[in-house]
Homo-oligomer: A and B are copies of this chain.
Amino acid sequence: MRPRFEKVAIVGVGLIGGSLGMILKREGVARHVVGIGRSLENLQLALSRGAIDSYEGDPSRVMPDAELVILATPVESYASHVRSWGKLLKPETIVTDVGSVKGQLVEHLESLLPPSVRFVGGHPIAGKEQTGVGAGSPELFRGALCILTPTARTDPSALQTVETLWQIAGSTIVILDPFLHDWVLGAVSHLPHIVAFALMTALEAVQQRRPDTGDLLQYAGGGLRDTTRIAGSSPEMWRDILLWNRENVLALLEAYECELQKFKRLLANGDAAGLEREITRARDLRRRLP
């Protein structure tokens, strides 16, 4: 059944929060969407882009009436947000989020919210290089995966409602344990980011050894550009994601280093057959990517 909310509060009206606002309004899921944020300029942009119906700097003026609250600020700030207005929420209110880490963060938010409030963790795997509501679109999540991470405490009907919201947005839903989510995302997203960050800084380090090359980056082709595209992501956001998920990321980095060691060994031994076998394995795995 299509949910219908009188008032929805979106905390953090950026690319993700803003795009969700556009969808809630377009699909008639919310009668009134209030954007909560600190930057007046951004809130006015969100209003003019049709992402929200009104905005508010002070959450205490919105939360007592909200039926659905969407947390879409950087994950680092979730706990302080929930601490500041969690107790104002009325019973049965659904709180959901869009953060890239779950696990302990979900546990922590559940412990901060009153037991009558219904929390559902979510993570849409969508995004672009641009950020901000100016780049938002009601089509942002179409065809994308959205992972929901219920726990033993999650209310089944709240989970069903949040699932329906993401289906309306055009996403495919996957249900994962919050801690398993962090392992999976560590592997397919957080590790690749470090791989790309380290590749960029390594190029600077080797450049310094051979100043006679001129600027090394002038020789870059499409391969390096693709491989390092995600190194252009927000430092603040990635600092927080990597720290929240650091145990998984450290374990994944070790697994990655083992593979690099294998390539080093094959190269050092001039093992042509072994090298071809490993590259073929990588190529075949790459072909399986959706």
Interface residues of A (CB under 8 A from B): 125-127, 144-145, 147, 174, 176, 180, 183-185, 187-189, 191-207, 209-210, 212-213, 216-236, 238-239, 242-243, 246, 249-250, 252-253, 255-260, 262-264, 267-268, 270, 272, 275-276, 278-283, 285-290
Contacts and interface: CB of A to CB of B under 8 A. Distances in A.
B194 A224 contact: no
Contacts of A249: 267
A250 B268 CA distance: 7
B196 A227 contact: yes
B260 A194 contact: yes
B255 A257 contact: no
25 contacts: A147-B219, A180-B212, A180-B213, A183-B213, A192-B227, A192-B228, A194-B260, A197-B279, A200-B281, A201-B262, A201-B282, A202-B255, A202-B256, A205-B258, A217-B288, A218-B290, A226-B226, A227-B228, A231-B283, A231-B286, A235-B280, A239-B272, A243-B270, A246-B270, A253-B267
A206 B255 contact: yes
Contact of A219 (B188, B202, B221, B259): B188
Given A202-B259, A217-B288, A233-B283, 17 more contacts: A144-B221, A187-B203, A192-B224, A195-B195, A197-B279, A198-B262, A201-B259, A223-B229, A226-B227, A228-B286, A235-B276, A242-B267, A246-B268, A250-B264, A250-B268, A253-B264, A256-B260
Contacts of A195: 195, 199, 227
B286 A200 contact: yes
Contact of A263 (B197, B223, B279, B289): B197
Contacts of A225: 289
A246 to B, nearest CB: 5
A231 B236 CA distance: 29
B275 A243 contact: yes
A257 B258 contact: no
Contact of A198 (B147, B203, B219, B256): B256
A219 B125 contact: yes
Contacts of A188: 203, 216-217, 219-221, 224
A12 to B, nearest CB: 20
Contacts of A272: 239, 243
Given A224-B189, A246-B270, A286-B228, A279 B218 contact: no
B147 A255 contact: no
